[in-house]
Amino acid sequence: MIRTGLWPVSALWAGHSRPGEQGMTQDTTTPLPNELRQALLAYGLLWCLGLYLRLTVLVVPPLIPQLKAVLGFTSSEVAIATSLPLVTLAFGALLAGWLLARVGTLPSMLLGLAVMALGSALRSLPEGFIAFMLATVLMGVGIAFMQTAMPVLAKLWAPGRIGRASAVYTNGLLVGELLAAGATGPLAAAWLGAHWQWAFTLWVAPVPLLMLALIVGCRQLPAMANGSRAASLTLPNVRDGRTWRLVALLGAAAALYFTGNVFLPPLLEVSARLDLLASSLTALNGAQMLSSALLIFYADRLMGWPRPLIGITALALLALPLMLWLPGGHVVWAAGVFGFFTSALFIFVLALPAWLVRLEALPRLMAGMLFFGYLLVFGITVVGGWLNDLSGTVALAFLPTLLISLVAMAVTPRLLASRQ
């Protein structure tokens, strides 16, 4: 079984009172310098690990012209290369839950980093589509190991600040997305030229240093959860209502993000506003950064209360018709509102499993949420695209996202009430 390590003192991580936690008071003791250093180290490592949860996935879109022109990829092959990590993340989560229980948190995270970096680097070899896909699958498995271990690290290193820790590594995730999407093209053009494919390797070159920092840093942080050789592969608990409610929330958060990004270009195209695409995407992703930064300070105050979570989901949904029907340049503002609230919802979804259950139950719950949740998101995106193609109406592409978001709002109060 997994066992926890604890901070030397509890002052730094003292949490706010939550529903069902009557009698708890906030500790106002000023942290000692050593404790502050430990906190900064923990948050710094969480942020750097979060950076690589999506960075290598989003290196592909900026290199699509080269993949088509040089390697001969078709449009469908490019679409598969972009979306395959999502499916791999779902199936890899099943193995990740077992790995956490078997070898422990630190080895799981180190293995995830190594596999992710290796898979990304192998995509630099000009061996064709099949080899590229196999390397992408390997990379996705590594990301699945990391994604499943992140809430465990947040709970170990910040037991009284799970919301803040989740906001920190999600901020790193968003920065990784921006770096990959915004800097890969210029980097490949200025530094790599004809050797553009080595961009897949260049982005993961710092990973060995991150692994070393993680090993050294863990000596100054709470003891990592140990594994057990007796641990066996355990499938998600399909009888646990928390799993399915978290699946609905993850489905809503991720579907909102993916459908917003995928269908924003055709939405602007049909309304003859394609010139606003760059500014709209900038507003959408920039507002996500703002949201994650604010929740570093406020997430723990909102954890456990259903109304803020339901309100965030509703406001993200409200932004969809604003993007669809507001005239002129107002779509840029609507995209910013959409990005702000979808990011906030995603942060809470990532934080909730660690807040809901004890540490020993967390890997299994995370595996179930990621497996069923990302398969659901993949299906929602595909069905949305099919509805758009069938009807020729972009608005219908958001219908599956609307339905899962309504389900997520309905199950939120019962999910929060089921905390162990």
Per residue, the 3-state secondary structure of 286-351, as one string, reads: HHHHHHHHHHHHHHHHHCCCHHHHHHHHHHHHHHHHHHHHCCCCHHHHHHHHHHHHHHHHHHHHHH
**DSSP 8-state symbol, 392:** -
CB 409 within 8 A of CB 314: yes
pLDDT of residue 225: 57
Cβ within 8 Å of residue 193, ≥6 positions away = none
| C-beta of residue 86 within 8 angstroms of C-beta of residue 374 | yes
For 306, residues 6+ apart whose C-beta sits below 8 A from its C-beta are: 412, 413, 416
3-state secondary structure of 223: coil
Q: Which residues of 49-61 are buried (b: 16+ CB within 10 A; e: fewer)?
A: bbbbbbbbbbbbb
Token match 């499916």: residue? 87
* Structure token pair of residue 312: 């965030």
The confidence score (pLDDT) of residue 167 equals: 92
Q: Which residue has the tokens 């997430």?
A: 299
Say if residues 111 and 92 touch (Cβ distance below 8 Å): no
Q: Which residues of 223-235 are buried (b: 16+ CB within 10 A; e: fewer)?
A: ebbbbeeebeeee
**Confidence at residue 234, expressed as pLDDT on a 0 to 100 scale:** 65
Report residues of the chain scoring pLDDT below 70: 1-32, 75-76, 79, 223-234
Alpha-carbon dihedral 92, 95, 99, 102, rounded to 10 degrees:
180
- The confidence score (pLDDT) of residue 79 equals 65
Domains identified in the chain and CATH numbers: 32-231 (1.20.1250.20), 235-420 (1.20.1250.20)
104 φ, ψ (degrees, to nearest 5): 100, 175
CB atoms within 10 A of CB 420: 8
**What pLDDT sits at residue 274?**
76
pLDDT of residue 388: 80
**What count of other Cβ atoms lies within 10 Å of the Cβ of residue 219?**
7
pLDDT score at 260: 78
